[in-house]
Structure formats: C-alpha cells, structure tokens
Structure 1
Amino acid sequence: MIFECTQTLLSLHGKGTLQVVAYFVFIEQYRCKNVCRQWENIGNVISPLDSDEEEDGEDEEPSSSPPLEDQLSDFRQQWKAELTSKDDDTSTSSRRRRRTKSSSSLGEGSSTNDDKAYSLFMQGVDAERNGEMFEAIKFYRQAVQLVPDIESKIQSISGFDDNSSSESDEASDYGEEGEVNNVTSQLSAMSINNLRSTCEKQFPQKGTHISKLPLELLLLVFRWVVSSHIDLRSLEQLSMVCRGFYICTRDEEIWRLVCQRIWGSTVFLTKDCITWRQMFLQRPHLRFDGVYICRMTYVRQGEQSYIDQTYKPWYLVEYYRFIRVFPDGAIIMMTSPESPKEVVPRLKTKSVSGEGFVKGHYRCIGNTLSAVLQQERKETESGYQRYKRRSDRNNNSSILKEQIFRVEFEVSGSSRHNNTKLEWKHYSCETRYASSNMATVSDFDHSTFNPLLFSRVKSYTRTAVSPL
C-alpha cells in the first residue's frame, strides 16, 4: 500500500497543488477508517462482546476492506488518466497557439505559400538541430523558393534570434559550458570546419555585410592581406576583429603557404612543430615587411695644417648600411652617408639602381643567412672612359672588371622581438681584373661592425601585387 502511494506521489510531482492536497485528503480518510477499526478490535479483546457481534464484525471487516482498496486503485488510475490527458491538451494547445501566432504574424491576409514556407523552414530548423544537414538544406531551399524573405520575416516576428541561435550552436559545437576559464585554450581548440558564421553585423546597414561571403572567398581575401610580401602583422591585426576572423586567420592552409614561401616547397612538419603556425613562430626566419639598418662610425685622421703644426684634426665618419630581403631570394645592400629617411623609400622595389647599391641572391639555412652580391655595371660609357680604358691597356695597368661581395649573418632577436637582428659572421670582397684575369680577396674584420636591426616600413606592404 505504501509503495503504491509513493509511486502515485512521484507521478504527481510537478502537478497542481490542489490535486496533491485532494489526494492526501483521500489517503487521510482511508487511514482514519483503518485506525478506528483497529481500536475497535482492541476493545473487543479487553471486553469481549457477544458472539453475534464478533461474528458480525468478522464478517464486516473482510467485506469492507477490499472495496476500499479497489476504490483507491480505481481513483488513482482515473486521476492519472485525467492528468495525462490534461497535459497533452495543454502542450498541444500551446504549440498550436504558437504556430498560429507566428503564421498569422507573417502579415494580414497571409497566403497559403507563407504558411507552407513557414512550415518548411521550421522543419529545416528541426532537421539542422538533429544533425540532418542535407534534409535541412532541402527544407530551406523549398521554403525560400516559396517566399524568398521567409527567414527575415520569421526573425522579426517569432523571436527567432539569429544571434542567440548562432551563439548556442557555437557553444554546443565548441563545448563552452559556463564561464570561459581559459580563453587561449578555447580559441586554439576551435576549428574552421565547425565554423557556422564568420562574423555578425553590429549595426543595421543597407549594403551587403561581409558575413554573407562564402568561407572560401573570405580565406582568399585573407591571402591577399598576407600578399606576396608575407605581411603577417596585418593578418594578426585582422584576427582581433572577432572570433570568426580569428579562426580563419589560424587556417592551416595559409600558414602552410607561408612556410613554403620562406623555406621552400620541401619543408615538412616535425615532432617539435606539429602545426605550420608553430613552425613559423619557433624557427628563425627573415622579415620582408621592412629593412635592416645599422649605423657605422669610425675615426679618421685629417690633414695637418701648414699654419699650425701642433693642430692635428680628427674626423668622426658616420655612414649607414641598409639590407632589404625579398621572399623570392633577392637581396639589396646599400652603404650610404645619407639618412634612413632618404634611402628607405628607394628600397621599396628590386629595380632600384644607383651608386652604392649592390644586388644579389641569398640563402637561409637554419639561422645563417649567406648572400652573394655584385654591383651592376653600365654597358654605356663616355668618350673619356673609352680613352682612359685604351690608355690603361697600353700601359698594361690593371683594369677593374667587377667586385663580388660575400656576406654571412646570424639571424637572432632581442628580448622583446624575434628575428629582428642580423649579426655579422663574415664579410669579404673579391676583386677581379680584366687585363690579367686575376682576382684578389679581401677579408674585413667584422668584429667592429654593429648588428643590423629590423625596422618595419608601412609603405612596403601598403599595396598588394599578388596573393599569397
């Protein structure tokens, strides 16, 4: 009996208060009758009654107990049936009322196409939530064919908020529960394959928002941002726009192309570098969005004056050395007394020419940069130069043919930034003469040379010529 009452109370959990009170009243009445009957039996034991009364009591008890239990079980079953039917009617009426309200809100005098489109769109929503993407696309397509702007209508009237739905979907996709404890780990766990939408517009606008672009076109735009200059600083700034852009900027395809552009197509991932972005951050490499500059000074003794023999002049000579590297292996080096403000704009392209410029090609192995440079010689010469060349040839004097510079640097960084310093390891000059076909090599003491420090130049990456 107690077990059946407990089951009934569990089934009534969450029901109305009056229903539970009525059930307790019925149980209390039944319990009082049994208590009175027990006290009557106790009184019969203390003061025995007549045999006739005992026989009547004995006949009366078994005859009265079963009907009460039957009534209680019948009442319980009837009560359960009424509650179940009432809940079904309530849910059905609320669902019908919600559907009727949404469909009627589509506009006064809405046609049958609006109702069909709404029904198909909601079926697509249910299918998408269940993971049936192909079925959802089919329902969406049919709904849009009937009413092209069915999605905007549903969003404006039925409270179908795209922001809340996208946030809930992304939360379920990315496993976000509660407050974010570690933002970095959560963002690194995101994948572009699970991305539903790249971004959302904050303010209403008439034009087409960038979130309407397909993911493939957006990734192509990001490749144009990196461009052939390997401008990854702009890519990092782009990742701070929103979470969708952050995931797109961490696409492995973009970073794979960057690594292959720097170290060649034969580069591959290792155990130490499990991702292409990690390889780019850990391995030493050159930067292409600026120029390496160093300031050199030395002291030179001047000519002694014939007026004052005690005066010995000394001159402090100052000049600058510039090095610009390109992703295709080209390198430009210039030594000039001019200030960086005047020289840096001239190093924007590889077609620069003039006195003091030497061009060549470089190769970077590990953290060592090796380059061979040569000064371009003009084919045209003046009449005086031709006369000078003929006179030197007749005098059998040496004629300078070309000079080849060989330099080696070690790519290092500072305490704040990596790959921003080039330290000298080797510097030599090979001079070849045309008359004797002989060559002399001069090695310079690079211990007194200052390292070249990187300086970013915004104008170098302002325009993109080709994508990554």
Structure 2
Amino acid sequence: MQPPAQVPPVPPPEEEPQELARFREEWKAELQRRRAATAATQASSSPPQPASSSESTLPASPPAKVFVPVSVSQPRAGPSKNVLPETHPALNGTERPTYVSPGLGNALSIYRQAVYAEQRSDLDEALLLYRQAFRLDPHVDRAYHREEMLASILQGQTAAVKKLTVSAATDEEVEQLASNLQNTLALSKPVSTGKAVVTGTLASLISGFPQELAFEPENELESVPIKMLPDELLVLVLKKLDPTSIERFARVNKKLRVLSLDSTIWRNLVSKTYRPPQIPDIEYMIPVIEKHLSDFRRVYIEQPRVRFDGVYIAICHYVRPGLSENSWVNISHLITYHRYLRFLPNGQVLSLLANEEHSPQQVIPLLKPSLRMKGFFLGNWHLEGTTLHLTNLIDASGRFVLQGLEPPSSAPIHSHLHHSSNTTSEDRARYVFVMSLNLRSRPLGRWNRLDMETYESISLETGDATPVALKHDRPFWFSKVRSYGLQV
C-alpha cells in the first residue's frame, strides 16, 4: 500500500512592494495638486454669470444639449479638370453673410431678455417680453434652442484649441511622472539589456546576443565612422526620430537593435502620445504599463492609439445607370468619392467628403482647420478602448457663420464653395452628426484601419436622431503624410 502523495504547501501571496505603494501615493497627490491648480485657473478666468434666484416659480431656460455629427454630402459624377482655388469669392474682401434675418434677430434678443428676467424672478416683465418676442416671430423658441445648441458645440470646439497651451504646460510634469513610474515599478523580471527593458519574442532573441557588441564593417578594409560616437549620443539622435525611422535604423545590425530598445526613447513616445483624448486620464496608463512589464516599446505597439502623422481615407464606389440612345445598349457609370478623416492632438477632427473632381493629391495638403470647402466638417474625437467616437461635427464649409471657429486673419483660407453671399435665415445649419468607428490593425502596420459602426444625423430643432444608411461606404485606411510630421 503506497502512502498518500503529499501536496506541497501553497506559498502565501506576495505583498505589494513598498516602493510601488509609495509611488501610488505620490502619483495621487500629484494629480490632486494639478487638478486643484486647473480648477483655480478656470474659476479665475470664467466670466461672471447673471444672478439667479431659487424662489422662481417658473422653470429656467433649458440647458443646451450637445450633439454629435458626420458629413453626408452627396458626391457628383463625371470627371473634371477644376483645380481648388486659393480663396473663396465670398471671403475675398467682402463681409461674411449674416446668420439670421433682422426680424428674427430682434425676436431672439427680446427672448433672451425674457429668459434673464425669468431667472431674476421678475415674472411680469418676463411675460411681457415673451409675448413681444412671439409677436415678432412665432417660432422664436425653436430658434433660441437651436442657437443654444450651436453655442455649446462651438464652445467644445474652441476648448479643444485651448488644450494645446494646457498640454504644453504639463509636458514637463508628465515626463517626470513617467520617469518615476519607470524607476519605481517593482514587477516580474523581463530581459534587461543596460537601459532597455524587453519582453515577448524580441526578449528571447536579444538574450542570445553576445555581451560585447560593436560596429563591424562589411568590408574589413573600410572604416566605420559611427564607431567614434558614444552610445549616449546615438540614443539622443534616436529620440529625434519617428518610430518608423527608429525601427529601420535598428535593422542594420545587432548593436543598433539593442540601442533602439533604450527605455527613454519609447518612454518619451508613450508619455507624449497617450494623453487625453487618447486615454481618459493619466492614471489609465498605470495598469497598462504594469501589464506589459514596464516595456514601453511594447506599450506603444499594443495599446490602441489614433495616429496624427497622416490621414485616414475611405475610397467608396457605386454604380449609377446612364442614358443611351440605343435601347440595346445599357450604360453604367462608376462613381468614386473619398472620405477623409484627419485627427489633431488637441482633440479636433477634420472630416471631408470629396468627389472624384478633387484627387487626394489636391485635397491632403489643404486638409487643415482653415479649409472652406463643400463637405468639410469640424468636430471632436475621443478614444475608448478600440472604439473611436466623433462628436460635435458641424458644417464648417463656409456656408454658415460659426462664431469662434473662424481662422485668424493671417491664416490662408482655402475654399471651393460657390454659393450666394445673400444667406437667409432658412440657410442655417439644421443638422449635426455623430459617428463611431472601430480602430484596428490590418494587415501590415499598427492602428491603420477604421471600420464605421454607427452614423446618425441629429436635428437641432427637435433633437431626433436618425440613422444614416451606409450602403456604399468602405473602411478608412491610414496613409502617412510627410508634411504632417510626428504630431504627438
């Protein structure tokens, strides 16, 4: 009879390292300090609000709603040799068209006074002003709510522009936090080669390299000038390159492969890339870095991100039946149009729908916030996991006056819009759009494909959301643009 097998005792769970616990406390304290400073700055810069009273018996004006948008211009058929003009005729030394008619403008002004009077609990005056406003225009309430919605959307657009100065002020703090994270995280043992931390398949490859690596010439009779440069100087040079150039440089030999894995190179890329709206907040990256064992290169490769160094393009086709004089012959036209999405680090997104009259070679150099072209929309974006949300897309083609979104007077305005300068009250924006996309990596390259999931139009008057059919749409594929540079 055999004795029963003894079960080895289960080791007790390891306690959290003291350095990691201390770092978490320092991180939280630093974030609280920065949030308090930001709140104090916003409180000091915010304008005074009109006085209100809680004793009012009538409800105050409803808050403005924020909606989301996407462009749905219809492409036109037929080739053309037209070239994008430099300046739109309506913007060439002439005054921009007015947004509303004078009668409706007066009614809106009186309606706003009535709202303020109601907020002050002066109900008699508010009632008189409401009656006067409705006599001037029976639909003034709809116009008021539409104006409030547009104002909230434009406020979100201008706030995205202001993020550039705020993020520039916190670059040094983010770098310091990233440095503390690299030095204090106590994790499992990845392969370490000097200042590099490597995991995964590349770690097994690096572990087989010899300890002493050097630059060896292909021809023994030739010299190798790069041997004169110290490794520290080569790392500084690599920090100035984009990730694609770094990987190409690393394929030369084993020594350059090891130098390209220096943690400071990829830590800088991670700290500059992964910040809102790429992630909800900085704390979001702590478990991500822990998951990848503090391998910042692996974090940069595996963590979803929207790319800023190019444009996402969808090439769409559909067949349109044509007319023929011969009843025995059927003519069909193949129509091609392009959708463009360019994302900016400050949270803005540029959306453009262009037909085959304008090739990508013409459009891409002009795809900037100052563009004024039919089918051009401005909005905001944020990323949640692999789901990309486009919000507050609003028509910025130049057809409507959008206060706060006009480019500076010194900025060139590119336009291809031919509408009358006599804009009436009926030409106001009536719809905004919302779009959600799925971010993927296919088949070569990282995060280079966007699949459209939902697309809706929202009425500014009623707030009703209507799905838009995506019969001919295709996925967006990323195309790198040198002139955009590495905007991280």
Q: Which structure dedicates a bigger proportion of its chain to helix? A: 1
TM-score range, shorter chain: 0.3 to 0.5
Q: Which has the larger radius of gyration?
A: 1
TM-score, normalised by the number of residues in structure 2: 0.44
TM-score by length of 1: 0.46
